[in-house]
Structure 1
Amino acid sequence: MKKLKLILPVIALALFSCDNYMDINSPSPNDLAFSQASPSKLLPGAQVSAFRVQATTMNQLGNVFMNAWTRNVMSFGNGFDRELQLQIDNGFYNGIWDGLFVQLKNFDAIIKYPNDSHKYDLYVAAAKICKAHYMSQIVDLYGDAPYSEAWQGNANLTPKYDDDYAIYKALITELEDARSILGNYDPAVAEDFTPYDVMLNGDTAKWIEFANTLELRMCLRMSACTGAKATYRDSKLADLSSIINNGGSFLSANVVVNPGFSADSNAQQNPAWGYYSYDAAGTILQNRTFICMTGHAYKALQSYATTNWAAFGNNYEIVPGSGINYPNVTDPRSATMFTAGASGAPRRAVTQGSSVVDVTTPTGSLTGLALPCRVGLSGNFNPYNQAATTGYDGIDGFVMTKSEANFLAAEAALRYPSLFNDPQGQFEAGITDNFAMRNVTAGPAAYLAAINAKANFGWTGTDTQKLHAIMYQKWIALMGVNNSIQSYIDYNRTGFPVTPMSTIAVNPRKPYRLIYPVSEYVANSANVPSVSTSEIYTVNSKTPFWVPGAP
């Protein structure tokens, strides 16, 4: 509970330090000036607030773009309109860019804080890793961005935009620097940051694992790169292979954030719980009834015998012309990930773009109060059955899961077998961990046996089919309240898993990138690149550099 006292003041500091240019009044003497904020005061607030953006705005977009969530058409006449229609402009999901850049300023301030004595080495290492985690996702979603001149405050209000590949290389250097600090710091000099590290509680070994895993994710983003970029990628993969083969590790446990989340107030709840389910007073939030299961997710997680396929002409193909049918395996995770909209009612779902509930069991009624499945509490907010002691409001926030790390390791071993080992073992470990996280009472053995007989969904078939299986299982593992934006980014990189478009989409495919927010076109108009709506649906010079075919 010691950390609980840190939440509100530090978050207030983070907001004051970056947004007070809008305030015409003098600062309160109780507010700490940004220049006076030491790393111990900056780190916990930045960790929590950056996670808040990831768990809410980013995660929601990933779930809708990857056809796991849609709107409950029985209770709402509209919603997710722009997401489903793919009508994207400079007002679309601005909270991602704006929210992350505020917190990146705080991580950057920790890195630049005077540290000649090396007192703050551990804070600096953690900040470098967090900066790489969140800034790399800015690049993944937008391409070029301010970096070398960013976060200078009044010294430079209009920072230039850096090349996205150059930013990636700089972030990998940050990860390497962080590993070096964590492996060589002097405990007699460096301040113990355990009381202020609300992510990994000062565990330097876990911070190194996190850095290793983030670097692997960034290298795999570059899997389609050629030429000098491929040479650079391969050199970094070789470095990672050496680390792993000499006793290092990718994530051995989840990376979580929890400064003492509780139901004491809305501000102190786990941000995901307080966004998707209930407020601190126990009042149901609109998202709890608005968000529902898509027909695509239903068909992916249920067998043919438990789905009303006759209503769809018994055509089992995921996307017409893809040649890939749904797996025809009932996934036990489905029951905890999505629960029936009403007690005792059959499971139902909504095809993205449909105005009616249209997917259910073979005998399930679609008339009357046919509420679709909504996001399950047990499978999303009660990981590993922790809620028995802490309550859903106080559950850990998941920054990066072990299962995601397993799937990254599986892909690395599949693509680069001379550097990494055991792709099937890592693949199955990712599924197994996600079963435990989702509180599935039956073990994964039966599911693994069934799914591993299915090319494109389990470990069988060609390397391309196995790659699809990795992306498919990662999509399931990250679905819900669990950083689903990663699946969308992977989709742009690999084209997998095969995913249907909304039936009301007005553009031919999901966008390769987002458009810079209004705030940039207003405040940094001289530097922000002009990006048109049409350009985000084609591969061109403004596409993130790692997209296949990008220059």
Structure 2
Amino acid sequence: MKQIFLYISLVTTTLLTSCDLNINDDPNYPDNGELTAGLIFPAIAPSIASAVGGEIYNYAGFFAQYYEQKPESNQYNTLCEYTITESSQTMDYSYRALFAGALEDAQQVLEKSTNPADRFATTVLRAYVFQVMVDNTSDSPYSEALQGLANPTPKWDKGEDVYKGILSEIDAAEAALDDATMTVPDLLLNKNLEQWKGFANALRLRMYLRFIDANVDATAYIEKVKTLVQAGSFFTNDVKLDCFVDETDKRNPWYNTNAIGLTANHCAAYPLVTYLNHTNDPRIAYGILKATATSTYVGQIPGGKKQMAEVLGTENWKNKNVSSIDYSFGATKPVYFFTQAELQFLIAEVYARFLNDDTKAQAAYEAGITADFSVRSEDVASLSNKASSVINGEYTAWSTATTAADKLNLIYMQKWVALFYMDHMEAWSEIRRTDCPALSPQKAADIQKTPNVYTPGNLIAPWENGLQTGGLIKRMFYPLIARQQNKNTPAAVPGSTSVWWDIK
């Protein structure tokens, strides 16, 4: 199975990077008529992973304030400082990978297959892709997309309509299942249809919560999340693409770009490091290295590498003075589509917010922490059996939260920690949905000057901030390639403008 994936992944990557593909073009093979659904389906997940686990993973990690640009490097200054524009083409590759790759392949499977189980799994992946696209740009080609030459310039639908559309697609595909079994090679869930149903339910839960917090039919969606969580029919373990090997063109896409193609540009960000230090969380050893100059964990203030050098002196703010991101296990790291930790934290939120069940909320909260430690101990053995250090921690034990708001804050903060080095896109999305971690009221310069005014873990508006309104970035810009190829691409929107479900 791994060999099948690696071959298809290489072909897919070659196609996406060597051609300037229109989202309505066929990216598969010259003679598409000879291809079966079984040959096409395995290409969908690698195309998704190349985007969500590569380019999107990278910029979302900056936006979630997990990492920053190293003092002596300049590759990602625009991401740290929010000076990106449409012309930066920050998600152009991902747009091609998702539309001309994953969604076009999904369309081909749906057209070629009559097997209800294969169609259901394809529909779930299709829904996942549209959710990711909407969470980046708020709206997306949807109702008129993927029609080829019949409509080369599809309209962009409102994100709320896209969400409702893909949820309806999942419902219809699941209703048609009967006793069908999957026949196509499955790189994610090993053709286990119950796991695919569980994945679909997790996507529903994630999207329902966004409807609720956007105050769109909130009463109905509250009932839906309550029903979902009480039924408990979710996937076990993680939904991940775990087929990478440490060989040329076969490595994890983010690692391949940053540890192989570039000169390791990432250092740890101040909010993450200060929070992990404050809570004595042993997971700080996962993905973060101690600064070589001090043998301590040191984070860089967002968007402030130049200013830190000015304040401290150039010799006192170099790569050696800040914690680097540890790439050592990244080559074979899976790309996560949905982690068990995130799922448990979402379940905990529902029990706490809507079901008034403190016992079950606590159980899910602690299960989320345990699940995250379990995954990380596969790469960093010293983390094995240390989940109790957070579950019973001075600042992180459930018993330390005395109000409903405090309990939600615990859930959200631990979700933020658990998504580091796992699923950065969802981390950024959940920050925007929950406003947690909160944005620090102090400016970056004041925090650097007087650290004790800062609440550990709070996000920090970049020291050098390209947003006219200041604050944090709220969306990704429309892909330049979309504007060049599609006259119906909406007018440019500032990065400070929230996506449709982020109304706070």
Q: What's the TM-score once normalised by structure 1's chain length?
A: 0.76
Going from structure 1 to structure 2, the CA distance change for 1:226 and 1:368 (only over 3 Å counts) comes to: closer
Distance 2:34 2:143 in 1: 23
Cα distance in 2 for residues equivalent to 1:55 and 1:369: 26
Identity of aligned residues (%): 21
Q: Distance in 1 between matches of 2:156 and 2:59?
A: 25
CA distance in 2, matches of 1:14, 1:416: 44
Contact 2:123 2:170 in 1 (8 A): yes
Q: Given the alignment of the two structures, is residue 185 of structure 1 paired with residue 126 of structure 2, yes or no?
A: no
Distance 1:423 1:459, change over 3 A: farther
Say if 2:234 is the partner of 1:250.
Answer: yes
Indicate if the aligned counterparts of 2:369 and 2:387 stay in contact, CA closer than 8 A: yes
Q: Which residue does the alignment assign to 2:455?
A: none
Look up the match of 1:386.
Answer: none
Helix, strand or coil for the counterpart of 2:392? helix
Structure 1: 5+ residue stretches without partners: 279-284, 303-327, 360-364, 382-391
Which one is further off, 504-513 or 3-12?
Answer: 3-12
**Is the CA contact (8 Å cut-off) linking 1:4 and 1:261 kept in structure 2?**
no
Distance 2:196 2:3 in 1: 22
Q: CA deviation at 1:422?
A: 1.2
Q: Aligned partner of 2:257: which letter?
A: Y
8 Å contact from structure 2 (residues 196, 235) kept in 1:
no
Per-residue CA shift, 1:132-190, capped at 9, x if unaligned? 112111111212211011011112100112222111111112222343345x2335xxx
> Does the 8 A contact of 1:471 with 1:487 survive in 2?
no
Whether 2:301 is the aligned partner of 1:351: answer: yes
Measured after TM superposition, the shift of residue 33 of structure 1 is: 2.5
C-alpha displacement of 1:253: 0.8
Deviation, structure 1 residue 197: 0.7
Corresponding residue number in structure 1 for 2:496: 537
Structure 1 residue 423 and structure 2 residue 423: aligned?
no
Q: How many angstroms apart in 2 are the aligned matches of 1:16 and 1:393?
A: 22
Among 273, 277, 291, the residue aligned to 2:259 = 277
Match of 2:87 in 1: 91
Maintained 8 Å contact 1:295/1:351 = yes
Contact preservation (8 Å) 1:13, 1:32: no
User: Is residue 268 of structure 1 aligned with residue 250 of structure 2?
Assistant: yes
Letter in 1 for 2:288: F
TM-score where L is the length of structure 2: 0.83
Query: Which of 417, 421, 429 is the aligned partner of 1:489?
Result: 429
- Counterpart of 2:485 (choices 514, 523, 526) is 523
1:286 aligns with 2:268: no
Superposed displacement of residue 419, structure 1: 9.3
- In the other structure, the counterpart of 2:462 is 502
2:189 to 200, 225, 238: 200
Amino acid in the other structure paired with 1:372: V
Residue 472 of structure 1 corresponds to which residue in structure 2? Answer: 413
Which residue in 1 is equivalent to 2:39? Answer: 41
Counterpart position of 2:76: 80
| Residues 273/185 of structure 1: CA separation in 2 closer, same or farther (3 Å cut) | farther
Maintained 8 Å contact 1:336/1:377: no
Equivalent AA in structure 1 for residue 392 of structure 2: A
Distance 1:415 1:55, change over 3 A: same
Q: Which amino acid aligns with 2:389?
A: A
Secondary structure at the residue paired with 2:472?
A: coil
Are the structure 2 counterparts of residues 9 and 547 from structure 1 closer, same or farther at C-alpha, using a change threshold of 3 Å? closer
SS in 2 for 1:256: strand
Aligned counterpart in structure 2 of residue 126 of structure 1, from 121, 124, 129: 121
Contact kept? 1:357, 1:370, Cα under 8 Å: no
- How many angstroms does 1:371 deviate by? 4.4
Partner SS for 1:301? helix
Please tell me the root mean square deviation across aligned C-alpha atoms, in Å: 3.2
Question: How far did 1:215 drift?
Answer: 0.5
Residue 367 of structure 1 deviates from its aligned partner by: 7.1
C-alpha offsets along residues 461-505 of structure 1, whole Å, 9 cap, x if unaligned? 32222222222111111112x111212112222211121122111
| Residues 81-131 of structure 1: CA deviation (Å, up to 9, x unaligned) | 22222123213422333332223423531453144xx4x322211111111
Map Cα deviations across residues 50-108 of structure 1 (whole Å, 9 max, x no partner). 112111111111211121101111x32x2322222212321342233333222342353
Aligned pairs for 1:216-227 (under 5 A) are 216-226=205-215
Q: Unpaired runs of 5+ in structure 2?
A: 310-314, 378-382, 439-458
Instruction: Give the secondary structure class of the aligned counterpart of 1:91.
Output: helix
User: CA contact under 8 A between 1:294 and 1:350: conserved in structure 2?
Assistant: yes
Does the 8 Å CA contact 1:210/1:250 hold for their aligned counterparts?
Answer: yes
2-side partners of 1:300 and 1:357: how far apart?
Answer: 22
1:405 deviates by: 0.6
Partner of 1:141: 136
Moved more, 368-377 or 89-98: 368-377
Pair 1:514-2:453 in alignment: no
> Which amino acid in the other structure matches residue 501 of structure 2?
W
